[in-house]
Structures are given as structure tokens and as C-alpha cells.
Amino acid sequence: MPIPPGPFIGRTLARLAQDLRDGRTTSTDLTEQALGAAAALDPALNAFVTVDGTGALEAAKASDDELAAGRDRGPLHGIPVAVKDLIEVAGLPATMGSRHFTGYVPGRDAACVARLREAGAVIVGKTTTHEFAYGPTGDRSANGASRNPHDTGRMSGGSSGGSGAAVAAGIVPLALGTDTGGSVRIPSALCGVAGFKPAYDAISADGVFPLSRSLDHVGVLAGDADSCLTAYRCLTGDEVPERAEDARVAWLDASDLFAGDPEVVAVARAAAGSAGEPPEIRLPEGFAEEVLRTYRTIQSCEAVAVHAERMERAPELFGEEVLERLRGAAQVPGWRYVRAVQDRERLIAAAGALFEHHDVLALPTAAITAPPIDRREVALGSETVPVGVALLSLTCPWNVLRFPALTVPAGTVAGLPVGLQLVSRPGDEALLFSAARRLTA
């Protein structure tokens, strides 16, 4: 069943910033609202691992004092924010969703957290992650499963599931996540919010526990695309200039990657055509199979490189599913990894052809709506397919290719959210957000 809406539903970062500066609210008020919503709603959601009430209220008071003294740090000044528990926040536990890190408290902020603080944001707590971010479902963590606000019996998506649930429930207006194969966009789509994975290394991953170093991206989740853009600008200093012209949008028939639930595809397709019917294009022949294989190989080998000693020293501290995935990944031979890294550069070059006549590609974010928690297979027509494959296949190519990708709410199927994914080349982020603005107007 769904949960009641929290205080930040429908309140964009722009509106909150204006309310703060016009004296209609204070950072302390907003932070108290976030903490109150976490206390009321999180028992049903399990979105948070840690809530830092004392630290958040101290930071909020400091933000109010600065604004009163005329020091304005920008659009995130005084805004409550949640941070995925894979990202280090000085003085707060960082469990990575695993018993391996029970009791670990970092002494420094990750680079992206330091940027949040510089921008005046108030960190209210750490959100649940799938163990070591190694799963798209969000229901395998030492902290337990994070749950979908639209139906708490269903997945939030992963691995940034707690961040997706916290924003979708209206506990906070903004959260940080990480995205290696879709881990910002999948929970955003399944929970009905916006999520942005920038181009590779646009937001520093320093101080973020790795899953696959050459695929990992830091991203943002918020109620709407413009709020994601605001956060991205604050985290990077990239102004992403507004453009007057409309982005040229094409619908990407992604059935070669994964056919998906026809109802989900239809909802996303309708959203892509809400401002005019876009032309339809296909991936080059053989491209889908190659990019998916490259993703699986690179992620597998790099994940094992991160965890090899833990697998040998204390395998019992892993959750069963994640340990099984790592052991399977360890069977991938090194020569395949070397070849996959070489293949990636060729795939990036080949993918440029998709944008010869278009600025933005549109496709579903996830090929299915949120499955029940613990479900590992889903029926699509006469076939039964793994849930992980259905969730990842439309998002992971853009991690391999390192293109920026944004998901926005597209509608619902049987009351569950569907996401529309928009993809551009690096450097065309303004067109990406322009397209999102036009299609969600």
C-alpha cells in the first residue's frame, strides 16, 4: 500500500530557495520538516540507515544565520539533502549496505559532500544502498530492503533505493546517489521522481566506495528535472547555459537491448511524443549485444578487483546474493576484460552516429514497473526473465558509453510509476534538460 505524502512533495528546489529568501520559511523549519517526515515515514520505507538530527539542526541554524547576515551560498543554501550510504560523510557511519563495514565512521567528506556543504546544503542522513551497490533491486542490504512509497510491498529499485524512496516520499527534496549501470535512474523511475546520471567523472567520485571504477558515476535525485539541474550546477560549477532552440528528440527503439513490458513502453513512448511525434531510430546492427556484453565484463572484473580480499578473508560477511554474484564474476577471464576496455572506445565512437541528426534520444528507463520485494523473475508475455536484466538493460549502455542520461516521470501502469529516459552526448546537457522541460510541461 502507498504511504502518505511527505512535506516536500511538489516543492521544487527553486520554490524552496525563493521561500527561504522571501522569509516564508527558514532552513531550520525545512530541516525539522524533513526530520519529522523521516521519523513518521521511514519505519515503512527503510530509506535511511542513519538520520543525523543533531548535526542537521546545527547546520540549518548556521545556514539561517548566514542568510540573515547577507551571506547567500546559492540555490542549495539551507536545503535538506540525503546522501547514499556509499558516499562518505565525516562523522556519520558508512556501511556500504554490508556487514563488512559495521562500525566504520569516516573522518572526511567525499568530494561531492564537500561541495554540498560549500553550497550551504543541510545533510540530514544517509540512505539505504543495495549491498556494495551490486544490484538494481534495492532489497539486499545489511540494513534491509528499501521500499517503494507507491506500494511498500514493492522494490524501490537499486542500488540508490533509499535515496529514491526518500525523495519520492517527500522526506527530502534532493538526494545523492551513485550509478554504475542505472543505480540513480532505476530507483528514480520505479519511485516516480527525476534522476540524473551526468557524463563520466563530471561529479568527482573521490570518497565514494567503488563498485566498478570505470563505470561508476555520482548522480542526483529530485522531484523534477530542473531541480536535478540545479544540484548538478552546484556540484560541478557547470553553468549548463539555457538554449532557446528546441532539442531535436528521437525515439530510440530499444527492443534490441530489451523488449520490455508493452504497457511500460507505450507510456514512455506517449510521454516522448507529448510535444510532437519524434522520429524513430534503431541501434546499429549488433550494437546492443556488444554494449551489454562489454558492460557485464567490465563491471564483473572491476567489482572482483575491489572485493577479492574480502571474498577470501571473510566471505560470511557478504549477503548470499551479492557473494554469489561476485563469485560468478570472478570466473570472467582477464583477456575478456582487456578486450572489453578496448571495445568500449570503439562503441563510444560508433554511438556518435546516433546523434548525427538528433540531440537527445528518448527511451524507457526501466522496462518494467517495480516488482514485489524479493522477486527475482518477471513474466513478460510467454517468457520469464530475470528481474535484474529487465531493470538494467536500458540504462547500463549509457554507463559504458559515458553519456549523460536523465529520467523523468512519464506516467503510470496499474498505479506504479514509469520513467522516460533521455540521453545526450557529453556537452549537450543544456539540450537534455531543455527536452525534459518541454516533454514534462
Residues serving a catalytic function are: 84, 159, 183
Sign of torsion over alpha carbons 9, 236, 409, 270: positive
b/e per residue 183-210 (b: at least 16 CB within 10 A): bbbbbbbbbbbbbbbbbbebbebebbbb
Using CA atoms, how far apart are residues 192 and 170, in angstroms rounded to an integer?
Answer: 11
Q: What does 375-428 look like in DSSP terms, one character per residue?
A: --EEEETTEEEEHHHHHHTTTTHHHHHT--EEEEEEEEETTEEEEEEEE--TT-
**Amino acid identity for residue 369 in this structure:** T
Residues 6+ apart with CB under 8 A from 123: 52, 55, 56, 59, 81, 82, 83, 89, 92, 113, 116, 117
Q: Which three cell numbers stand for residue 257?
A: 537491448
Assess contact for 419 and 369: CB atoms under 8 A.
Answer: no
Using CA atoms, how far apart are residues 122 and 144, in angstroms rounded to an integer?
Answer: 26
Backbone angles phi, psi at 171, to 5 degrees: -75, -40
Using CA atoms, how far apart are residues 411 and 416, in angstroms rounded to an integer?
Answer: 8
**Amino acid identity for residue 112 in this structure:** C
Three-state secondary-structure class, residue 3: coil
Residue 179 pairs with which residues in a beta bridge? 217
Using CA atoms, how far apart are residues 318 and 76, in angstroms rounded to an integer?
Answer: 37
Q: Which three cell numbers stand for residue 18?
A: 525563493
Q: How far is CA 228 from the centre of its chain?
A: 11
Three-state secondary-structure class, residue 156: coil
Using CA atoms, how far apart are residues 398 and 395, in angstroms rounded to an integer?
Answer: 6
